[in-house]
Amino acid sequence: MTSTPNAGPATPSAPNPVRRTIAITVGVLAVLVMAFFAFASLYADWQWYRQLGFDGVLMTQWIARVVMFAVGFVAMAAPVFAAIQLAYRLRPVYARLSSQLDHYQEVVEPLRRLAMWGIPVFFGFFAGFAASAQWETVWLWFNGVETGMTDPEFGMDTGFYLFQMPFYSAVLGFASAVLLISLLVTAVVAYLYGSVRVGQRELRISKAARIQLAILAGLYLAVQAASLWLDRYKTLTTQGERFTGASYVDVNAVIPGLGIVAIAAAIVAVLFFVTAVIGRWRFPLIGTGLLIVSSLVVGVAYPWAVTQFQVAPNLETYEAPYVERNLEATKFAYGIEGLEKTDYEAVTTAEQGQLRADAETTASLRIMDPAVIGPTVRQLEQYRSYYRFTDPLDVDRYEIDGEMQDAVVSVRELNLDQLGTAQGWYNNTLVYTHGYGMVAAKGNERTEDGNPVFLERGMPTSGELTIGEEYEPRIYFGESSPLYSIVGAPEESDPIELDYPRGEDGAAQTRTTFTGDGGPSVGDPFNRLIYALKFQSTDMLFSDGINEESQILYDRDPSVRVKKVAPYLELDSDPYPSVVDGRVVWIIDGYTLSNNYPYSSIVSLREAISDTNTSPRVALDDVNYMRNSVKATVDAYDGSVTLYAWDEEDPMLQAWQKVYPTSLKSIDEMSGDLMSHVRYPTDLFKVQRAMLGTYHVDDAQSFIRRDNAWRTPQDPVAGTNLQPPYYLTMQMPGQDEPSYSMFTSFIPASVGDGERNVLMGYLAVDSNAGNEDGVKADGYGTLRMLEISAEVSVPGPGQVQNTFNSNETISQQLNLLNRGQSEVLPGNLLTLPVGGGLLYVQPVFVQASSGTQLPTLRKILVAFGEEVAFEDTLQEALDSLFGGDSGATTGDQDTAPTPDATPSPGATEDPADPEAPVDPDAPTVPVDELDRLLQEAQTAMMERNDAMAAGDWAAYGEADEKLTNIIERLLELEGE
């Protein structure tokens, strides 16, 4: 029997060359695909910026980010790599290691080379991305300007705090991180390879490791010393217990203490350098311990003692000079230093003819509330369900027949969600591409049935705003535009874009073709592929609707476009459309912000500008410097963006202009028509009123005591948020004539349930920029404050609203308006300083509680002092309030309201479609009888009130029974 010898170990097979080639090919293809996707994204962005003419903005950002990434990567990776290499190369060759360290080295050694390169690269990438995110700080430092103003403590130009201090702080923080990581990796490598040995209660460090560790520790402490020295300046921008800036304790304890600790840290750093030479650790270690103790004593204990035993018992004496600094800096930083204050002895009694001197103001008083009449405008002007209007509507003003007219405005934009089953790539992208037309209504007038009086309306559009000039009504760029549209075609081709749903010679539609330059070209296959990848659309690649002239329009929201081309601006939350030189343009206010202005108090921007109409998101929340530095326009047809330097003296804007040198135009290039539509910005005014609640005082003692602190009242209609400011044309005391203005009011600041809703102040700002080319009107931006005498109690908005709601006569009439399926909508409560006092005006609208809702103006509530009136028109209400003849003229003085104008609950006719069928079974109310019964009900209520006031309870019972019978008859009519 034979046996074969045992087979030897199997020989590993050679790698399959085909499999290896496939793996490499797949890997290369994957890398190429990812690279192409990244390239496509960058190329699409560049095309968008280039088409707008702002490619320099994008290139500046790209270059800056790449440079800062490289700097951050090298600044972190190189020191860490050097620290690892030195610690390894200078290790003791014949060191006797413990068994545990031998085991560690066995584990680490196979990965040593990878770790020596990988660790620096790892930290370098993180540092590079962190540095690239800080590129704006570096560029502002490099392009910073001097302001010509110095801080009151160190005498430094305030530009140091705006531009240099953030940079120095970032550099020191970065250097600290680099040195700390280098120190840690050095210690780890030194321990692993025996340079640092711990055993038998003894720490042994080789000479090479000692030198490296001591130098790194000394450098780290030197950086900390510089950081502590810089912290002295930061006290001027730090929020304290009562105000922002260095207080008495800061100036006399904290700042000297930081200086002492910084010098001590520098001395300890020198001791570490000495240790690197002489080899003795005792001195730097003792110095480090003393440094910690001194920082606690000088930096914590001493300031606490000064606060408790010196400042707290004598607050006004010690803090007054520093509060004065804060008052001056805060007023300058928020642009409220030029506030014109007037003591206002408000009268509260209404007399005949009292408003005669204010007739121009009352004539312009807006009774159409843009927050209420949106559904009415939609029903009357929407025409098709795939259109929409903004909610709330915007306000503007126009010159009509030589007179300025306040207007409520909006543009008709697309609402593709309403297309239903007609939605699809072709319709959404190629057919429904734009909205159409501006709609504008007079703010101070109404029709007989309570609807707006339009200045501009219709499809095709017509009205007072477009007479005698070329007008482009199409809205390709708006707040509700589709994600993207593809437009444009050769001249001879048939148009496919829906222009508006009406045509000539009985046609159902009019079509058009975009002829502007509004977006990047997608006419060639390469660009089409790029944007098909961007929007993940295969339809874009294969559609026959795209031709060599096609353009793609995207990023169409006006605020998005301005933010992309001017990334340094915080934008106002309320862009608004205007007809300017025959074009519909969006006007947007841009702000430069900072949180580093010395001694200026910090405010939460988000909280300051949030109210009933606005709940914004902001990039920089806590700020202490704000300027309306730029006015921007976006053409609604072609999307072109124009930036005008509105405040050329702003140092922040000057620095940004050096960063982006070609992005701004001078104010001199603004046309007179555009100047007539720009206004004082809403968000800036909200921030200013937030600051003026405390900073309207001029002396430190009052500020410290807070004995005259104010706040903005809650919206009396909404009841939860702050009352928004309102634009009105009015004449403030001290003004020669009425001017387009914005106003707000103040009530006493309170805590908890101790609110007292009486007027303490009334703030208005002149918002009229004039109508001359490139020239601001003299009064533009002037802030005027009426400080209402505490001797007279003037009701605040909350009190007035409560009076309206609780007044028996008014509430009964409101109940009549609120009958059946109707509901009452109170409009904005406006406040005007007229007749020597404060006049409140509130329009009252009525709409169906369900179904088609069409808010129509029915009544006007007015109040002056304790007197109130409730009539059909503003003219009647004012005359009733002021003894039968107010002396005022109003926009609705010639309007005779229709008594049966309130929509019947069963009505089904849609005003947007006059041919809609009416339900023949819908209940109707006899107009004549309804009018008679309403008049009798009003008379009965007045008789009942008179009887109650006279104590004649028999007459009261008769009048009450009469009123009850009338109401029962009204209810019967409603059911018929």
For residue 52, pLDDT over 70 is answered with yes
**54, 565 in Cβ contact below 8 A?**
yes
Question: Rounded to an integer, what distance in angstroms lies between the CA atom of residue 896 and that of residue 707?
Answer: 50
Residue 298 one-letter amino acid: V
Give the pLDDT score at 685: 96
Here the tokens at position 807 are: 């007044």
**Residue 772: helix, strand or coil by DSSP?**
strand
Give which of 370, 380, 441 is closest to 854, Cα–Cα.
Answer: 380
Q: Is the peptide bond before 923 cis (omega within 30 degrees of 0)?
A: no
Radius of gyration of the chain (CA): 37
Report d(CA 970, CA 632) in Å as an integer.
55
pLDDT tens sequence across 169-221 = 999 999 999 999 999 999 888 877 777 777 666 677 888 888 899 999 999 99
Q: Which residue has the tokens 């031709």?
A: 547
Look at residues 189, 179, 248 and name the one whose alpha carbon lies nearest to residue 214.
179
DSSP one-letter string for 169-205: HHHHHHHHHHHHHHHHHHHHHHHHTTSEEEETTEEEE
Phi, psi angles (nearest 5°) of residue 224? -65, -35
Task: Show the tokens assigned to 362.
Answer: 């009352």
Residue closest to 61 by CA, chosen among 78, 72, 49: 49
- Whether the pLDDT of residue 475 is over 90: the answer is yes
Whole-angstrom distance, CA of residue 218 vs CA of residue 226: 12
Output the pLDDT for position 4: 44
Sort 358 into a burial class: Cβ within 10 Å, 0-12 / 13-18 / 19+.
buried
Instruction: Give CA–CA dist 553/518, Å, rounded.
Output: 6
Instruction: Write out the H or E segment, with its range, that includes residue 604.
Output: strand 603-604
Q: For residue 960, what are the CA distances in angstroms to 418, 483, 804, 965?
A: 51, 61, 21, 9
In this structure, what token pair is assigned to residue 91?
């290790």
Please give the Cα distance from 938 to 947 (Å, whole number): 14
Kindly tell me the burial class for residue 210, based on how many C-beta atoms sit within 10 Å of its own C-beta (0-12, 13-18, 19 or more): buried
pLDDT greater than 50 at residue 3: no
Q: Which of 860, 849, 851, 939 is nearest to 892 (CA)?
A: 860
Q: What is the pLDDT of residue 100?
A: 57
Q: Is the pLDDT of residue 946 over 70?
A: no
Number of separate helices (H) and strands (E) present in the chain? 29, 34
Average pLDDT over residues 401-425: 91
Distance of alpha carbon 252 from alpha carbon 935, whole angstroms: 76
What is the rounded distance in angstroms from the CA atom of residue 801 to the CA atom of residue 602?
33
d(CA 453, CA 467): 17
pLDDT, position 15: 59
Are the C-beta atoms of residues 849 and 823 closer than 8 Å to each other? Answer: yes
Q: Give the max Cα distance, the chain.
A: 141
The reply to whether the predicted model has a pTM over 0.75 is yes
Mean pLDDT, the chain, whole residue set = 87
Over range 836-856, report the average pLDDT. Answer: 88
Q: What is the mean pLDDT of residues 468-485?
A: 90
Runs of H (alpha helix) within 776-825? 797-806, 808-817
How many percent of the chain have pLDDT more than 70? Answer: 89
Q: Are strands 340-344 and 783-788 parallel, antiparallel or unpaired?
A: parallel
Mean pLDDT of 438-449: 92
Residues 6+ apart with CB under 8 A from 714: 720, 721, 722, 723, 798
Q: Which residues pair with 634 in a beta bridge?
A: 586, 641
Helix (H, G, I), strand (E, B) or coil at 283: helix
pLDDT at 506 over 60: yes
What's the pLDDT score for residue 420? 87
Contacting residues for 925 by C-beta, under 8 A, at least 6 apart: 900, 904, 973, 974, 976
CA pseudo-torsion sign 702, 705, 707, 710? positive
> What is 662-723 written as a DSSP string?
TS-EEGGG--HHHHTT----HHHHHHHHHHHHHHT--SHHHHHHTTT-EEPPBPTTTSSSBP
pLDDT value at 780 more than 90: yes
The token duo for 283 is 């001195």
**What pLDDT shows up at residue 922?**
42
Q: What is the mean pLDDT of residues 33-49?
A: 91
pLDDT of the residue at 207: 85
Residue 492 scores a pLDDT above 90: no
Of residues 443 and 913, the one with the higher pLDDT is 443
Higher pLDDT, 295 or 3: 295
Q: Are 333 and 626 in contact (CB under 8 A)?
A: yes
Question: Taking phi first (over 0 means left), then psi (-120 to 50 degrees means alpha), and beta for anything else, what does residue 662 get?
Answer: alpha
Q: 935: which 2 tokens?
A: 């008049």
Query: Tokens 């503003």, residue?
Result: 874
Q: Give the whole-angstrom CA distance, residue 235 versus residue 255.
A: 8
Reported as a single tens digit per residue, the pLDDT across 305-354 is 998 999 889 888 899 999 999 999 999 999 999 899 999 988 988 889 99
Does the structure show a pLDDT above 70 at 101?
Answer: no
Cα 760 to the chain's mean position, in Å?
Answer: 28
Q: How many whole angstroms separate alpha carbon 774 and alpha carbon 769? A: 10
Determine the pLDDT at residue 953.
62
Backbone angles phi, psi at 284, to 5 degrees: -65, -35
Tell me the H-state helices in 206-246.
207-234
Handedness of CA 880, 881, 884, 887 (dihedral sign): negative
CA–CA distance, 284 with 282 (Å, rounded to integer): 6
Q: How far apart are CA 571 and CA 683, in angstroms?
A: 9
Give the DSSP letter of residue 179: H
Q: How far is CA 444 from the centre of its chain?
A: 29
What's the rounded Cα separation, in Å, for the pair 538 and 797? Answer: 57
Report how far residue 658's alpha carbon sits from residue 145's, in angstroms, rounded to the nearest whole number: 10
Interval 695-725: pLDDT, tens: 999 999 999 988 889 999 999 988 778 899 9
Which has more pLDDT, 726 or 33?
726
Q: Are 83 and 208 in contact (CB under 8 A)?
A: no
Residue 904, exposed/middle/buried by CB under 10 A (0-12, 13-18, 19+)? middle
What confidence score (pLDDT) does residue 925 get?
A: 47
Residue 102: the pLDDT is 60
Let me know: does 761 contact 696? Beta carbons within 8 Å: yes
Reported as half-sphere exposure (CB side, CA atoms, 13 A), residue 345 has a value of: 0
pLDDT above 90: percentage of residues in the chain: 59
- Calculate ∠ Cα 446-452-455, nearest 5°: 105
Q: What angle do CA 652, 656, 657 make, to 5 degrees?
A: 115
CA atoms within 13 A on the CB side of 481: 29
